Chain A
Amino acid sequence: MMITNIEIVPGKRITRHLGLVQGSSVRAKHVGRDIMASLKNIFGGELIGYTELLQESRNEAIARMTEQAKAVGANAVLNVRFSTSSIAAGAAELFAYGTAVTLEKM
């Protein structure tokens, strides 16, 4: 499964367009991380715990998107975009979407 954010893949031809696929994941941080984060808010600097958390949930969003693409019989997802939104206090939604296609070697 190829996942990319360009629209045309060099050296390959799109043979079938299978529509939009998407995956999302909502995560909250656990209290320990929140306490560390509020300490960091005094000193400033990177919140490593949050970076990891968001990365994990983004990977999960990608995995869900890939699953959906597999289900419709695609072998690539093109033009992938990411979007992040905070829905509630302490929770964030990570969203990934793209176009499922089948690619063939030219």
Chain B
Amino acid sequence: MIDLIIFVSLLALGYGFGRHAEKKHYKSIIKREKQYSSLPALTAKTPTMLSKPNDSHLVVGSVVISVDYFKRFISALRNLVGGRVTSYESLIDRARREAVLRMKAQAKEMGANLVFNTKFETASIYQGRRHQVGSVEVLAYGTAIIPMQRG
């Protein structure tokens, strides 16, 4: 009985806090994406259309995000019937966008106006018994193009 109570309260906690955190995160992601809209991140390999001399530098952004208890439970249920695991999709989406934003923030600090050759790296971090900690790390990296100052 006590186990059941603990389980249900964990589920409720996960649902409440997880939902709140996700909403807040999406809000801030959308806000910052607008802010950085003047600094595009491209996947093109070689910088073309550059007429002025430029400096370039590696920029990196990374984030580790963890799932909440409720989402993990839902995805376990989803494993029985198969299909899209939307609860994990939103998690990865948040992590990717956050990583790109952090990369752009670093690029902006250097005074860049473009990020080339953006690449992603995703790793899952599991540890402990029965995969107690389930979280995902996303790394975004690219080359920032910084216009050189003359004089």
Task: Kindly state whether residue B30 has any CB partner on chain A within 8 Å.
Answer: no
Dominant secondary structure at the A interface:
mixed
Q: Do A37 and B119 form a contact, CB below 8 Å, given A7-B46, A10-B56, A84-B139?
A: no
For residue A28, give the distance in angstroms from its CB to the closest CB of chain B.
9
Dominant secondary structure at the B interface:
strand
Instruction: List residues of chain B with CB within 8 A of the CB of A85.
Output: 123
Which residues of chain B in 38-60 are interfacial with respect to chain A, using CB atoms and an 8 Å cutoff? 45-47, 50, 53-54, 56-58, 60
For residue B124, give the distance in angstroms from its CB to the closest CB of chain A.
7
Q: Do A45 and B65 form a contact, CB below 8 Å, given A37-B133, A82-B121, A82-B139?
A: yes
Number of interface residues of B (CB under 8 A): 49
A54–B62 contact, CB under 8 A?
A: yes
Q: Do A6 and B46 form a contact, CB below 8 Å, given A42-B10, A84-B123, A86-B123?
A: yes
Instruction: List residues of chain B with CB within 8 A of the CB of A6.
Output: 45-47, 56, 116-117, 143
Say which residue of A7, A10, A41, A84 sits within 8 Å of B67 (CB atoms).
A41
Task: Kindly state whether residue B151 has any CB partner on chain A within 8 Å.
Answer: no
List 8 A-B pairs, Cβ < 8 Å: A5-B142, A6-B56, A40-B135, A54-B62, A54-B137, A55-B62, A58-B139, A89-B127
